[in-house]
């Protein structure tokens, strides 16, 4: 049986470099109640804030670790996005999160993500999550792959004979 051509690998779309516009676009972090704070952000450093709601809690009554990871990934990723050139896109390739203290319902959380180094194709960032009293609740590090404008659109797969697999209906 002949192998079917696999679909092209998904790539992220080009994000807006304007943090005010990015803050209005939303995303998963927005769906769970956290927001980019353009007033407390700049190129290479982004702040994300939000209030812990009941839906953020795990079965032990404290914030689920996935919430910490989400807002830290959002802050660090947005800090990378703030440094992208026209036509570049990026995506998280690794994320390491340490959980230092628990937060409870009603707590106000602030995450700050900062780019440590941005290369041609890889960026390194760190993030910290704080409560309203300035206590660090979590810390994270991660890497982001950066696609150049030429790489941002996946190349069309070529079928046997040089024709496009999409055109042939494969």
Half-sphere exposure of 128 (CA within 13 A, CB side): 6
| pLDDT at site 4 | 74
The Cα 157–Cα 152 span in angstroms is 15
Task: Work out the average pLDDT over 108-125.
Answer: 97
Task: Report domain extents, the chain.
Answer: 19-148
> Who wins on pLDDT, 168 or 5?
5
* pLDDT tens string 58-112: 999 999 999 999 999 999 999 999 999 988 999 999 999 999 999 999 999 999 9
Domain 19-148: which CATH class?
alpha beta
């Amino acid at each position: 049986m002949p192998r079917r051509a696999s679909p092209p690998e998904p790539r992220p779309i080009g994000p807006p470099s304007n943090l005010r516009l990015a803050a209005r676009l939303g995303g998963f972090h927005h769906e769970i109640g956290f927001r980019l704070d353009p007033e407390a952000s700049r190129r290479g450093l982004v702040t994300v804030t939000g209030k812990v709601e009941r839906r953020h809690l795990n079965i032990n009554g404290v914030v689920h670790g996935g919430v910490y990871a989400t807002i830290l990934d959002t802050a660090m990723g947005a800090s990378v996005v703030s440094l992208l050139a026209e036509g570049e896109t990026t995506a998280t390739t690794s994320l390491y999160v340490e959980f230092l203290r628990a937060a409870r319902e009603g707590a106000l959380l602030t995450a700050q993500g900062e780019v440590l180094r941005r290369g041609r194709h890889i960026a390194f960032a760190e993030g910290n999550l704080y409560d309203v009293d300035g206590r660090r609740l979590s810390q994270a590090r991660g890497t982001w792959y950066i696609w150049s404008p030429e790489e941002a659109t996946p190349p069309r797969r070529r079928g046997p004979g040089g024709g496009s697999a999409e055109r042939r209906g494969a």
